[in-house]
Amino acid sequence: MNNFLSKRPLTMHQLYGDHVVFTSRPSFEKNPWLTTEEHQANMLTARELLIADMPVIIHEAAVGEKPRELMRAAGVDFPSHYRTFKDAESYNARLREAEKNGEKIFFQYAHSSEFVDPSTYYIDKELFVALNNKMKLSDWTKGKFLPKREVVAVDELEETLKKWNYPYVIKPGDEHPTAGGYGVMICYNDEDRKQALNRIKEAETDSDFVIEDYINTKQNYCVQYAYSENTGLNYIGASIQNTNEYGKYFGNITAHNVPQTVIEAGREIMQNGVDAGYKGIAGFDLLVDDKGEVYAIDLNFRQNGSTSMLIMDELLAGDYEKFFGAYAKVSNDAFYERILDEVKAGRLFPLAYYDGDFYEDEHVPSRFVGIWHGEQQDVDAHDKAFAEFNQ
C-alpha cells in the first residue's frame, strides 16, 4: 500500500526539510474574521497529512480506527508522522514542545506570541503576516492585477462607502487571518452595507479596511506554486473555485485548461514573495473578468484547500476531480458507512475523517474531506446523491 504515496510528485517535507512541524489549525484565541466552527477547525488539521511526510499536529478524533479504515480502503497506509492534541491546552503544549526541541513550525495561520516565540516560525513571522495581509496586496503584486481599491481607517469607513457605487467588497486590513471567504464582505445594496458595518462594529477593531471594486467574474481560479532552494519555483496547478454571490467558499474542481496569462500572473506574484524571503506553498485567488483581464483578489502564502487535490492529481483515476467536504446530518454511523462504500467503489479518495463518536458525553457530527474523481457526469451524479442522502 505504500506504493501510492511513493508516487507523490511533491511533499511538504521536500520543501520544508527536517526538524519542521506543520499545523493548519487556527489559534484558539479569538479572531473576529475567521469563524470556523471548533470541530471543523479540528478536522482540517488532518487535511494535508497525505502530502506532508513531516510531523503534523492533528486532533485525536482524526487519527482513530475509522480514518485508518478509510485509508486502507483507498489502498493507502495511514501516515505515522503526526502529533495529537484534544483541546486548547494540549494543542498549545504541542507548540511549546516543538519550540523546546529546537524545531521550526510552519503555521497555516499566525498565532500570538503568548503561545509560541516568534523565532519558532519557519517563515519569519513579520514576513508571514505581511504576505497574508489583504491591505498589503499591492506590495506583493507590485501594483499589478488589482481592481480599484482604497484603504481607509475604520472610523472613516462608513462615510467613505457612501462615495462608492454598488457592488463593492470590504476586507479587513489587520493581522488576523481569514479563510474560506469569511471576513470578506460583498455589498450589493444598502442592507448588505448595514450588515457589514454592524459586523465590523461587533469586531471592536481599530484597524484599517480595504474597499475594492467588485469584479464581474467569468472564472475564479486558485493557482498554486511551490518554492524551495532545492526545487526552485514550480507551478503546482490550479483549481476552479465555487463560491456563492457573497464570496463564501464551497469547494473546487481541478482546472486542466488554465489561461497562460493566469499562470504567469501567479508566477510573477509568487516570485515577488520568494524575493522577500518566502519558502513553501502558496495559492492565489485570481479572477478573469468578462473582458479577459486578470485580477488578484486574495493571496494565501500557505497551503490551500485544494493543495492536496492538485498534488495528487495524476495519481487519481479519471479526468475530473472535485474537492468534497461534508458533516453528518444523518447518524454518524450511516454517514461513515456511506463514505466507506464510496471509497471502496474507487470514486472517493479520503483526506481526513473526524470521528464525532470520539466524544462520548455529547453528540458531535462526524466530518469528512476528500476528493471525488472519475468522469464528470459520474462524479456529479454521486456528489448529488450523497447530498440527498445526507439531509
Sign (positive/negative) of CA torsion 28, 33, 37, 39? Answer: negative
What is the spatial order of strands in the sheet that 249-255 belongs to? Answer: 294-300, 280-289, 217-228, 232-243, 249-255, 320-327, 367-374, 348-354
As a whole number of Å, the CA-based R_g of the chain is: 21
Q: What is the 3-state secondary structure (H, E, C) of the chain?
A: CHHHHHCCCCCHHHHHCCCEEEECCCCCCCCCCCCCCHHHHHHHHHCCHHHHCCCEEEEHHHCCHHHHHHHHHCCCCCCCCEEEECCHHHHHHHHHHHHHCCCEEEECCCCCCCCCCHHHECCCHHHHHHHCCHHHHHHHHCCCCCCCEEEEEHHHHHHHHCCCCCCEEEEECCCCCCCCCCCCEEECCHHHHHHHHHHHHHHCCCCEEEEEECCCEEEEEEEEEEEECCCEEEEEEEEEEEECCCCCEEEEEEECCCCHHHHHHHHHHHHHHHHHCCCEEEEEEEEEECCCCEEEEEEECCCCCCHHHHHCHHHCCCCEEEEEEEECCCCHHHHHHHHHHHHHCCCEEEEEEECHHHCCCCCCCCEEEEEEEECHHHHHHHHHHHHHHCC
pTM of the model: 0.90
Distances in Å between the alpha carbon of 330 and those of 323, 337, 380?
Answer: 21, 11, 21
Alpha carbons 349 and 343: distance in angstroms, whole number: 6
Q: Which residues contact 35 (CB under 8 A, 6 or more apart)?
A: 182
Alpha carbons 57 and 367: distance in angstroms, whole number: 18
- Helices 65-73/332-344 angle, 10° precision: 20
What pLDDT, on the 0 to 100 scale, is given for residue 340?
A: 98
Q: Which residues contact 268 (CB under 8 A, 6 or more apart)?
A: 141, 142, 144
Select which of 302, 338, 347, 367 is catalytic.
302
Alpha carbons 53 and 209: distance in angstroms, whole number: 38
Q: Which three cell numbers stand for residue 216?
A: 464581474
Phi, psi dihedral angles at 129 (to 5 degrees)? -65, -45
Phi, psi dihedral angles at 351 (to 5 degrees)? -110, -45
What pLDDT, on the 0 to 100 scale, is given for residue 12?
A: 97
Cell match 493543495: residue? 307
What is the chain's pLDDT, residue by residue, as a tens digit (391 residues)?
456 788 999 999 999 999 999 999 988 887 665 556 899 999 999 999 999 999 999 999 999 999 999 999 999 999 999 999 999 999 999 999 999 999 999 999 999 888 899 999 999 999 999 999 888 899 999 999 999 999 999 999 999 999 999 999 998 876 655 554 557 899 999 999 999 999 888 877 778 899 999 999 999 999 999 999 999 999 999 999 887 788 777 779 999 999 999 999 999 999 999 999 999 999 999 999 989 999 999 899 999 989 999 999 999 999 999 999 999 999 999 999 999 999 999 999 999 999 999 999 999 999 999 999 999 999 999 999 999 999 9
Q: Cβ(174)–Cβ(205) under 8 Å?
A: yes
Residue 47 catalytic? no
What pLDDT, on the 0 to 100 scale, is given for residue 174?
A: 64
What pLDDT, on the 0 to 100 scale, is given for residue 37?
A: 80
Delineate the domains of the chain, giving CATH numbers in brackets.
Answer: 2-131 (no CATH), 149-213 (3.30.1490.20), 215-301 (3.30.470.20), 310-389 (no CATH)
What pLDDT, on the 0 to 100 scale, is given for residue 1?
A: 44
